[in-house]
Amino acid sequence: MNKIIPILILLLIPFSLAHTTPRKKIGIVLSGGGAKGVAHIGVIKALEELNIPIDYIAGTSIGAIIGGLYSIGYTSEQLETIVKQTDWINLLTDKVSREKIPFPFKSNDSKYLVSFPFNNSEKNGGIIKGQNISQLLHQLTEGYQNVTNFDSLPIPFACIATDMVRNQKEVIRFGKLSEAMRASMAVPIVFSPIYSGQKVLIDGGFKDNLPIDVVKAMGADIIIGIDVQSELSDADNLHSITGIANQLMLMICQSSLDESTKDIDAYIKVDVENYNAASFTKAAIDTLIIRGENAAKANYNTLLSIKNRIGIVNNKRNNKAQLPLFYPQYVPSNDNQLRIGLRFDSEDIAAVMLNINLNKHKLGKAEMVVRGGKQSFLRTQYHFPISKPQWITLSNQIGYNDIFLYSHGYKISNPTFIRNTSSLIYSIIPSRNLQIEVGTSLDYHQYYRTLVNEDATPIKRKNLFLNYHTKLKYETLSKRYFPTKGLKTNISYTIHTDLHTNTAYSSLATQITKIFPIALNTFIIPTIYGRFIFNDGIPFMYSNVIGGEGYNPHYEQQIPFSGLPHTESALKLLGNARIQIRHKFHEKQYLTLSGNYAIHQNQFSNFLQGKKIHGTSIGYGYDSPLGPIEGFICYSNRTNKLGFYLNIGFGF
C-alpha cells in the first residue's frame, strides 16, 4: 500500500498542473481597408465556428470599428446585420433626411449647390464632419459609453490612430470607445480629425495598419492577423487621379505594416480584388463577407493547430440581445458659410443665388442673400433666439422684378418694379416638424413699366402696405424633391392694409399634401390647395395666381398647377385639387403623371358653379447631384394647347 500511494501522486500531478496552468491567450489584429473591412466579419464568423476564443483585439480604421463592436458583445451575425442594414452612402456624409430637419432649417435644405465654410472657430478640418458615423457609433456602444478603460471591456480592446501634431502612432486604450473608433477611421481631408487636447487624430493606417505589436503588448500569446488591404496596382491602372490617389494610400499603409511577421501565428490575407474602400453596395458586402470566411478556411490547419495548443475552451459570449435602430439626427451647423445656388428653367431662363451665413451661436444668426435673374433681390436678415424653440427674425428685402402674368395662355401683363419689404416675425417651433409664426411687414412697390391689356387689373405706380400674418407649417416629407413619404401642411391668414387709402384686404391660404406608397417604388400623392380673398379690389401683388410645378413660384401666394407651365391670373376664390402618380425606376429616375382640377369664382354663394380649370402633365425627373432635372409636357383647358416646362437645379 505504501508503494501505491507515491505512484498515484505522480500520476495525478500532470492532471493537477493541467488544471492550474492558465491557457495561452489569443489576440486578433484587424487591418484597415474601408469597405473591404466587412470581410473581417467573415473571418470572425469562421473563428466562432471553430470555437477559437478571442482574448484581445486590436484594430485600425474599419478594423477598429469591427473590433470595437465585437469587443463589447456583438456577434459576427449581428455585425453582418449592422453592415447590411446601414445606408452607407448617407452615413458617410453629413446628410440627414429632410423629415429629421427641424424648422427653421428646412428652408435651406436642397437649395444650394455648394457651400464653403470660412472664418470658423469650429474645428472641422475635413470635407465631411462625420456627424452621422459618430452618432451611429455612439448608439451602437450604448451601455459602454461610461467605460474609459478598454481593458475592462468584455474583450480588452485597443485601436490605432495617427497624431498629426507629433507624426506618431497613437495607441488608444482609454477614453470614450465611440470617439476612439471614429478617430481611427478619420481619413484626412475626407473626414474631420478628432481633436483631443493638443492631439489631432486621423486614420491609424498611416502609421500602423496591422498593429501586431499592440495586441502582443496587451498580453496575447498567440496572434491572428487579418489583412484586408488591396494589392498595389500595376502601371496599366495608374492613368487616373483616382487610381494614383488610391495607390499612394496603399503605399503608405503597406509601408506601415509590421515587418516582423514572426510574431504572427496565423496570417489571414483576404482576397479583395475588384473592390475598394468605397464598395458599400449590398452585393459587395455579401461577397466580401464570404471571401473573409473563405480566407479563414484556407488557413484551417493553422487555426486548428492553434485550437489544439490551447485545448478545448468554453467560448460562449454574452451577446447583445437587440440591435439599435439608427436614425441620423440633425445637428445645426455653426459654420460661417458662403453658399451658391444655380438653376435654369424655361420660364426664368437662368438664376444664381449667393448666401452668406454668419453664425454668432447664442447671439443668433445673420444672413445676406443675393439673387440674380429676372427676379433679383438683396435680402438681409437676423435671427435672434429667445429660447430654444422661439425665434425673432428681422429682415429687409429689396428686389427688381420683371415678370409675366397670363390669362388663357396669353400675356396680359408684364410689370417691372422695385419691391422693398421690411419684416418682423416671431416664430415658435413646438416640435421638430412644426412651426407657428406671426409677423408684420411694411411692403413698398414702385412700378416703372407696366404693359397690360384690357383683361389686366390696373396697377398704381406706387403702393405701400402694412401687412399682418399668421402661419402654421407642418412637414415630414422625406425629401424636398421626389419625396417617398411624409405629410406637408401650410395654413396662413394675412391682412393687407393699403396705407394710401386705409383699405384692408384679407386672405386665407391652405395646402395639404400626403404621400401614399401603393406598390414597390410607386407612390400616389394627393394635394389640396386653396386661397380665398375676402374683399373686392385686392391689388395686383396679392391677387390669386395659379400655375407652375411649385419649385420656383413667382409670387408667394402662387398655387402650383400641373398643366400650366406659366403663371395665370385667377379670381378671388380659388380651390385646386391635384393628384400625382410617381414611379421610381432605375437609380434616382422618376416618371410622374399629374392631374389637376381647379375652381375659381368671385362669390362664395355660387363657388361650385365657378369657372373650371383642368390640366394634366407627364414628366421625367432625375435626382442629380446638381439638383432635380425635370421636363414636363402638359395640357390644360385654360390654354387648349400643349405646353412644355424644363427645370435644371434646385429651386429658390
DSSP code string of 112-135 = -SEEEE-S-SS---EEE--HHHHH
For residue 393, what is its C-alpha cell? 427674425
Is the Cβ–Cβ distance between 382 and 363 less than 8 Å?
Answer: no
Alpha carbons within 13 angstroms on the beta-carbon side of residue 230 total 22
Beta bridge partners, 379, equal: 369, 397
pTM reported for the whole predicted model: 0.74
Which DSSP symbol is given to 483?
A: -
Nearest to 61 by CA among 151, 162, 156: 162
- What is the band of 72 on the pLDDT scale with cuts at 50, 70, 90? very high
The whole-number average pLDDT for the span 615-636 is 92
For the stretch 512-559, pLDDT in tens is 999 999 998 999 999 999 999 998 888 888 999 998 877 667 788 899
pLDDT of residue 12: 46
DSSP one-letter string for 406-469:
EETTEEEEEEEEEEEEEEEEEEEEEETTEEEEEEEEEEEEEEEEEEE-TTSPP--SEEEEEEEE
What radius of gyration, in Å, describes the C-alpha atoms of the chain?
Answer: 33
Tell me what pLDDT residue 252 has.
59
Helix (H) or strand (E) holding 306: helix 300-310
Cβ proximity of 214 and 158 under 8 Å: yes
Reported as a single tens digit per residue, the pLDDT across 305-314 is 888 888 766 6
Residue 566's pLDDT band, with cuts at 50, 70 and 90, is confident
490, 513 Cβ separation under 8 angstroms: no
- The lowest-confidence range among 199-208, 457-466, 613-622 is 457-466
Please name which of 517, 539, 534, 516 lies closest in space to residue 526, comparing C-alpha atoms. 516
16 against 3, higher pLDDT:
3
Cα(208)–Cα(257) distance, integer angstroms: 6
* 133 CB neighbour count, 10 Å cutoff: 24
Angle among Cα 504, 507, 513 to the nearest 5 degrees reads 165
Query: 268 has which bridge partners?
Result: 226
State the Cα–Cα distance between residues 538 and 557, nearest whole angstrom. 13
Angle between helices 282-298 and 76-85 (to 10 degrees): 160
Q: Establish whether the linkage from the previous residue to 625 is cis, with ω within 30° of 0.
A: no
Flag whether pLDDT at 408 surpasses 90: no
The set of residues, in sequence order, having a beta carbon less than 8 Å from that of 574 and lying 6+ positions away, is: 529, 530, 531, 532, 544, 546, 559, 598, 599, 600
Query: Nearest-5° angle of CA 579, CA 574, CA 557?
Result: 90
The pLDDT of residue 19 is: 47
Return left, alpha or beta for 51; rule: phi > 0 is left, psi -120 to 50 is alpha, else beta.
left
